[in-house]
């Protein structure tokens, strides 16, 4: 048995990964696979919790997401990649945990509340959607994960997971489940290209890894900068300036970036120039990802093989946790 700390992380499979995901935690995971026992969950079941009537939105994106991970450097010999819907223990654990969490506690979860508002679910919340923090607790605990690299929007999920862990352990009378902690990205959350709405590929306000240089140029050009920066010599504002948010996340030469910022704030640096710097930076970042992604997508059989292998490995560990819970509850008679 390896002594490395166990990481579980994942993304809903409702669309391709975009630069927001990379800055959020996906690039961090590439580093973490060197030092940790890491599993990435392709959360197709969670993706269905708000797309129950449109399963294609999820099914069509499963391999997209796997290709995205592999193209940025997730190495399946170091990171286990698995598919949530093929791990029945997660669904079973969700059922057990659902009995020790109240509906009002779920309704109080700040992330769920926000999403209910944004998705217009006010009076018509799918039961599965309200329940997804419980299902996420099942994901995390089933793998005995103690470290969860996520964006800050996921903190309420970690908190709720630990509540479930403590309750379940006290019911069972011994520490069958482990508490976990989050690992937050050191990069601030990336805004959408217009700086206002939620990132989504269909709205054209995000940057996915299959973007061509020509498309990238268009996307960078339409990034929101500063409405009051009317001429080049006027002082410009960094806060809320999408170009600088992306530079903060991805531009490697931090000393030069500090100079660019000072120059912009002082006046004399145009948005055309800052966008040119960003475009070059993003072309350098994305080109190798796009090429690898294209190759990967041309052999879907191989992507499926990777996902199947990781899932089979995960079936064992998650099944063991589920059995421990059944034993702890006195249900495992045979």
∠15-19-24 over CA atoms, to 5°? 95
Region for 240 from its dihedrals, namely left if φ exceeds 0, alpha if ψ lies in -120 to 50, beta otherwise: left
- Using CB under 6 A as the binding rule, the residues of this chain from 148 to 177 that contact ligand TRP are 148, 150, 154
Whole-number minimum distance, CB 10 to ligand TRP, in Å? 4
Rounded Cα distance between 39 and 299, Å, is: 23
Which residue, chain included where needed, has tokens 């990649």? 81
For ligand TRP (CB under 6 A), the number of binding residues is 14
Whole-number minimum distance, CB 114 to ligand TRP, in Å? 12
43 lies in the binding site for ligand TRP (CB under 6 A): yes
CA distances 326 to 192, 288, 300, 313, 329, Å, are 44, 47, 37, 21, 5
Q: Which segments of the chain are extended strands (E)?
A: 6-12, 37-43, 79-83, 147-150, 181-184
Whole-number minimum distance, CB 12 to ligand TRP, in Å? 5
Candidates 39-47, 169-177, 281-289, 297-305: pick the segment binding ligand TRP (CB under 6 A).
Answer: 39-47
Candidates 146-154, 205-213, 252-260, 316-324: pick the segment binding ligand TRP (CB under 6 A).
Answer: 146-154
Which pair of structure tokens corresponds to residue 28?
């961090």
10 lies in the binding site for ligand TRP (CB under 6 A): yes
Name which position in 37, 44, 139, 271 contacts ligand TRP (CB under 6 A): 139
317 lies in the binding site for ligand TRP (CB under 6 A): no
64 lies in the binding site for ligand TRP (CB under 6 A): no
Rounded Cα distance between 242 and 282, Å, is: 14
Q: Where are the alpha helices (DSSP H) in 145-201?
A: 155-172
Whole-number minimum distance, CB 227 to ligand TRP, in Å? 32
Other CB atoms closer than 10 Å to residue 1's CB: what's the count?
4
11 lies in the binding site for ligand TRP (CB under 6 A): yes
Q: Please say which residue, 89 or 223, places its beta carbon nearer to ligand TRP.
A: 89
22 lies in the binding site for ligand TRP (CB under 6 A): no
Q: Please say which residue, 111 or 169, places its beta carbon nearer to ligand TRP.
A: 111
Rounded Cα distance between 146 and 4, Å, is: 11
Candidates 132-140, 199-207, 252-260, 315-323: pick the segment binding ligand TRP (CB under 6 A).
Answer: 132-140
Length of the chain: 334
Q: Please say which residue, 92 or 139, places its beta carbon nearer to ligand TRP.
A: 139
Candidates 6-14, 27-35, 247-255, 283-291: pick the segment binding ligand TRP (CB under 6 A).
Answer: 6-14
Closest C-alpha among 308, 312, 318, 330 to residue 63: 308
- Residues that bind ligand TRP in the complex, under the rule CB under 6 A: 8-12, 41, 43, 46, 136, 139-140, 148, 150, 154
């Amino acid at each position: 048995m390896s002594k490395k700390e166990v990481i579980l992380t994942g993304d809903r499979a409702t669309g391709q990964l975009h630069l927001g995901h990379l800055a959020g935690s996906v690039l961090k995971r590439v580093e973490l696979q060197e030092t940790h026992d890491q599993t990435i969950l392709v959360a197709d079941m969670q993706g269905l919790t708000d797309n129950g009537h449109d399963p294609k939105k999820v099914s069509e994106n499963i391999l997209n997401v796997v290709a995205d991970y592999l193209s940025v450097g997730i190495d399946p010999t170091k990171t286990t990649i698995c598919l949530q819907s093929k791990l029945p223990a997660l669904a079973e654990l969700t059922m057990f945990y659902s009995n020790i969490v109240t509906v009002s506690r779920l309704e109080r979860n700040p992330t769920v509340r926000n999403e209910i508002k944004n998705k217009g679910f006010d009076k018509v919340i799918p039961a599965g959607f309200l329940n997804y923090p419980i299902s996420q607790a099942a994901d995390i605990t089933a793998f005995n994960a103690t470290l969860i690299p996520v964006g800050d929007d996921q903190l309420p999920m970690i908190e709720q997971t630990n509540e479930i862990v403590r309750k379940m352990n006290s019911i069972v009378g011994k520490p069958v489940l482990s508490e976990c902690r989050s690992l937050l990205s050191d990069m601030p959350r990336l805004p959408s290209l217009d700086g206002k709405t939620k990132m989504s590929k269909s709205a054209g306000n995000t940057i996915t890894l299959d973007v061509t240089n020509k498309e990238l140029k268009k996307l960078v050009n339409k990034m929101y900068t500063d409405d009051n920066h009317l001429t080049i010599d006027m002082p410009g504002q960094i806060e809320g300036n999408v170009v600088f948010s992306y530079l903060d996340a991805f531009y490697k030469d931090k000393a030069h970036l500090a100079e660019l910022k000072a120059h912009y704030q002082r006046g004399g640096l145009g948005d055309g120039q800052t966008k040119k710097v960003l475009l070059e930076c993003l072309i350098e970042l994305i080109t190798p990802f796009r090429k690898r992604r294209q190759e990967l997508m041309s052999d879907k059989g191989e992507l499926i093989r990777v996902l199947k292998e990781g899932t089979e490995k995960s079936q064992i560990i998650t099944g063991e946790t589920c059995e421990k819970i059944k034993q702890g509850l006195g249900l495992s008679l045979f």
